[in-house]
Structure 1
């Protein structure tokens, strides 16, 4: 960049505009019918694709890893590139209900590439939940050979060298280990230039997911990966840390000022860590939290209106020229009420962050979980809300997009 003088430089805009107009005059008047950039973006980020289950591996504590290839009948013919930490949104039609669920990708990005000697694949690891609407459906219906409709890649829970420090302090609980399994494999196999200190909270040693694999990865990592297992229940034979993942345990193994913190786990872990991390005096840019899906204990929030608890309200839904009346329980999200009625409403994260289910609140009042309020300030002013993270506090009237 040349600096020719104050007045000469500030007039640069005029020169650029002149060149632009000259180029327009010289250009072909025929309209461009194809947009190669838009086409490429659509190929790399497809709205929908079909994945075929090619392998199912049984893991501990009622968990399974599902391996997918791109189905031969899918219009998308390759696995879109993704980053360790991102997720897949699977689409389900169960009875009259349309619904989606996000699951973190547990395989590494390089395993989905064309250079993979084994046919390119992507994996998710899912834990079965007791009376879980979707997980029970998956256990009963997902078999080798099943075709599943999906959207990928999604999410912003990944390492970015322009933003993050060289060392990742990864804090996981339960099935929240899956995105770190993807990142760790990238690091150890030389595909991600970073280091990781992984704190993994489990109840007992037998509950540690991917235990043997993480031990092998740590041994191969040349010091780039260190795994610290923390058990909440007493185990006399365990030589690691006990209790919960506290600020003292984190300080013991980490360089706080030169690390970026990535957190993924159950909602109760988030609440506990929100207090512990205050002791570390972290900068806001140092902490990244993965979205954890819909809030299932919304009544536990102190600012939830007491008079609305346990009540059912009327919901008037406008979709194009059609109007539908349905019921919504205050303890369940507006999105859940729509799905139960068989109304298809696009949603991926189910945590108020991705914005795909963005809708207009025309009348009434909803409770929005502050931790999951991913709306822009302008949307809050104009009355837009995300049904996946909003709960009816009164009779409401809403307008949703038509699909």
Structure 2
């Protein structure tokens, strides 16, 4: 049997035959300069996903009687020269040390993605009675103080593949911050969707960013804002709670997605209201800014924690999460979202009992092999835990 080889095939065979010789000649004729220490792909990856961002407070702005904004810029002396970019609606996890304890809390960015490219993040923090980090930020933090942050993350961000072109935002309390970022991004043209925002607060005095939202809504037809007051009745405001009927009133006839960001009580209420709208679950995204567990009278327990080749015995309370107990004891356990979504704090329960909030995003296999999320779990007995470091 004869095989016919065309002219092109002959050339291919000759190339293969002379491969070693050609490679040696190319190496010999190459410039005698060292290879670069890094490459553009790795540089981009490090900027998008830094292991840590070292920041300092450049400015503090009093927004309302109980809310302050903190303008954060790179701490170049510590090694951060540029800020990681983000999509509007993202959060960062801030860390500092207070009196020997590790204080870490998650705050949504109220700045726009464009501002990050200009070298600044903005986080807006409401004062929380008994709060670990918010009290320090409000009462003691000053310009020049340093903080460490994670890369931005979160799932309350717009996706052209998943979401409708129209988003109905439902915000309560400090949950307004990601929507400020979205409104700015839409106004600046870095995000391409329409947003109708229903912003709930107790009183008019509790509304954060009202002047900013009004200014954006006045000049940008893609942004509409409705204020809903639960404890006041005033002209120009809706009153009561954000219900399914109120959503229908302002959502319009076109398809829409819903983003919910607010405290646990608001999310629990909307869990009962949103099914009345008849939307597919993929069009509803929810992020709880805080979740309070009523454990009754607080009880004291002991946690035995295996962490980084050491065993620690630390106190815990039934009305605080296991993660909070870690931090009060000075254990810098990795975490980001602090509400059971991201899995960064995933640990293994060796023995003991706990209560987890019902929004914990735990895989079936994790449940089978006794993994849990300390950030949203409250001890119900003494516990022994294995914590993984990254």
Shorter-chain TM-score: which interval?
Answer: 0.7 to 0.9
2:47 touches 2:83 (CA, 8 Å); kept in 1? Answer: no
CA RMSD of aligned residues (A): 2.6
Q: Does 1:329 align with 2:325?
A: no
**Higher-Rg member (1/2):** 2
Q: Of 46, 68, 72, which residue of structure 2 is paired with 1:64? A: 68
Partner of 1:45: 49
Give 1:252 shift.
Answer: 0.8
Q: Does 1:285 align with 2:272?
A: no
- CA distance 1:128–1:195, change in 2 (3 Å): same
Give 1:269 shift.
Answer: 0.7
Q: Does 1:270 align with 2:267?
A: yes
Q: Does 1:396 align with 2:383?
A: yes
Q: Of 78, 87, 92, which residue of structure 2 is paired with 1:88? A: 92
Give 1:36 shift.
Answer: 6.2
Q: Of 365, 383, 388, which residue of structure 1 is paired with 2:370? A: 383
Query: Counterparts of 1:370 and 1:274 in 2: how far apart (Å)?
Result: 12
1:166 touches 1:194 (CA, 8 Å); kept in 2? Answer: yes
Structure 1 SS opposite 2:228: strand
Structure 1 SS opposite 2:171: strand
- 5 Å-filtered alignment, 1:169-188, equals 169-188=168-187
The count of residues paired between Structure 1 and Structure 2 equals 363
1:333 touches 1:390 (CA, 8 Å); kept in 2? Answer: yes
Query: Counterparts of 1:291 and 1:336 in 2: how far apart (Å)?
Result: 17
Structure 1 SS opposite 2:88: coil
Q: Of 292, 297, 306, which residue of structure 2 is paired with 1:296? A: 292
Give 1:296 shift.
Answer: 2.6
Query: Counterparts of 2:207 and 2:138 in 1: how far apart (Å)?
Result: 21
Query: Counterparts of 1:157 and 1:377 in 2: how far apart (Å)?
Result: 24
Structure 1 SS opposite 2:305: strand
Partner of 2:222: 224
Query: Counterparts of 2:188 and 2:312 in 1: how far apart (Å)?
Result: 53
Give 1:37 shift.
Answer: 4.4
Query: Counterparts of 1:36 and 1:376 in 2: how far apart (Å)?
Result: 36
Query: Counterparts of 2:320 and 2:130 in 1: how far apart (Å)?
Result: 16
2:103 touches 2:133 (CA, 8 Å); kept in 1? Answer: no
Query: Counterparts of 1:270 and 1:202 in 2: how far apart (Å)?
Result: 14
1:367 touches 1:393 (CA, 8 Å); kept in 2? Answer: yes
Query: Counterparts of 2:131 and 2:288 in 1: how far apart (Å)?
Result: 19
Cα deviation, 1:95-145, whole Å, max 9, x if unaligned, reads 1211310110001101222xxxxx531101111122322111112332122
Give 1:256 shift.
Answer: 6.3
Partner of 2:120: 121
TM-score, structure 2 normalization: 0.86
Q: Of 235, 238, 241, which residue of structure 2 is paired with 1:241? A: 238
1:201 touches 1:244 (CA, 8 Å); kept in 2? Answer: yes
- CA distance 1:128–1:391, change in 2 (3 Å): same
Give 1:225 shift.
Answer: 1.0
- CA distance 1:291–1:47, change in 2 (3 Å): farther
Query: Counterparts of 2:263 and 2:312 in 1: how far apart (Å)?
Result: 35
TM-score, structure 1 normalization: 0.84
Structure 1 SS opposite 2:76: coil
Partner of 1:102: 106
Partner of 2:29: none
- CA distance 1:131–1:314, change in 2 (3 Å): closer
Query: Counterparts of 1:50 and 1:190 in 2: how far apart (Å)?
Result: 29
Structure 2 unaligned blocks of 5 or more = 1-15, 24-35
Query: Counterparts of 1:256 and 1:341 in 2: how far apart (Å)?
Result: 53
Cα deviation, 1:198-237, whole Å, max 9, x if unaligned, reads 001122223221112111111111x21111111112334x
Structure 1 SS opposite 2:84: coil
Partner of 1:347: 335
Q: Does 1:158 align with 2:157?
A: yes
Give 1:35 shift.
Answer: 7.7
Which is further off, 333-342 or 320-329?
Answer: 320-329
Query: Counterparts of 1:120 and 1:180 in 2: how far apart (Å)?
Result: 20
